[in-house]
Amino acid sequence: MRLLIRGNSQAVGKYIAEYIIDRINSFAPTASRPFVLGLPTGSSPLEIYKNLVEKFKAGDISFENVITFNMDEYVALPRDHPESYHTFMHKHFFSHINIPLKNVNILDGNALDLEAECIAYEAKIKAVGGIDLFLGGIGTDGHIAFNEPGSSLVSRTRVKTLTYETVVANSRFFGGNLEAVPKCALTVGVATILDAREIVIIATGAAKALAVKKCIEDGVNHMWTASCLQNHPCAMFVVDDDATLEMQVKTVKVGI
């Protein structure tokens, strides 16, 4: 697993956006051989989406032959709610680029049969040949997607109850009102993420420092689910200086 450290969140966003563009362009996707990209929501990827949109507008990248799968979605939040992940993705990314809507996949948290929805999502990922690059954020408790502490490391797409810590963290998007935050979500599993050919995780800010330390310096652990990346052949954390605050200086500092 690689660890890349940049000075601040803007530099992290720029680096990852350029990395994704490079990956897509060198893959040279076509309609019959699309590039499959896994995507997160949250505040961490905002800078990346901003950079990707700018690069699209500058003509540096096309998303015409890119298929996306989002990591997660709240259960029972109306699709057009301002805080649904459907709304987030269209507002910050999809409505500004040339991705065909048929290529966009986001779990339906209002499906009548949630379990069937999750099974179908896994099948759809498999049908397009798997995910080439899964981009993810990380929770303050080390969760990846909505794989909360204690999630099985072989988990697949499923319904997940959110922990109190996640509900509190996400209440900032709901006017600080804990009651308004959905308590359940649909999420890809840890194993779904590990199936991707490549994984890139963003972690910025001091609030993520403990999670970064636990997931990189400690062992693989179901209580810090992003630690699963240690078992992946092509995984990378891209973090800013603040996110390294809990790490061992003597191993983080690069030799002269």
Q: Which residues bind ligand GLP (CB under 6 A)?
A: 40, 42-44, 71-72, 137-139, 145-146, 166
Q: Which of 132, 81, 143, 149 is nearest to 110 (CA)?
A: 81
* CB of residue 166 to ligand GLP, shortest distance in Å: 5
* CB of residue 43 to ligand GLP, shortest distance in Å: 4
What H or E segment, with its residue span, contains residue 194? helix 190-194
Catalytic residue list contains 242: no
| Tokens standing for residue 47 | 């800078």
- CA angle at residue 65 from 64 to 71, to 5 degrees? 100
What H or E segment, with its residue span, contains residue 195? none
Catalytic residue list contains 143: yes
Q: Choosing from 73, 117, 143, 240, which is the catalytic residue?
A: 143
Catalytic residue list contains 81: no
What is the rounded CA–CA span in Å between residue 69 and residue 148? 19
Which of 202-213 are b and which e, b meaning 16 or more Cβ less than 10 Å from the residue's Cβ?
bbbbeebbbbbb
Q: 51 vs 65, which CB is nearer to ligand GLP?
A: 51
Q: Where are the alpha helices (DSSP H) in 35-113?
A: 46-57, 85-92
Q: 34 vs 141, which CB is nearer to ligand GLP?
A: 141
| Tokens standing for residue 229 | 């990346």
Q: Choosing from 73, 117, 132, 148, which is the catalytic residue?
A: 148
* CB of residue 96 to ligand GLP, shortest distance in Å: 19
Q: 34 vs 209, which CB is nearer to ligand GLP?
A: 209
Q: Which residue is nearest to ligand GLP (CB)?
A: 137
Q: Residue 73's beta-bridge partner residues?
A: 186
Catalytic residue list contains 217: no
Q: 72 vs 195, which CB is nearer to ligand GLP?
A: 72
* CB of residue 41 to ligand GLP, shortest distance in Å: 6
Enumerate the active-site residues: 72, 141, 143, 148
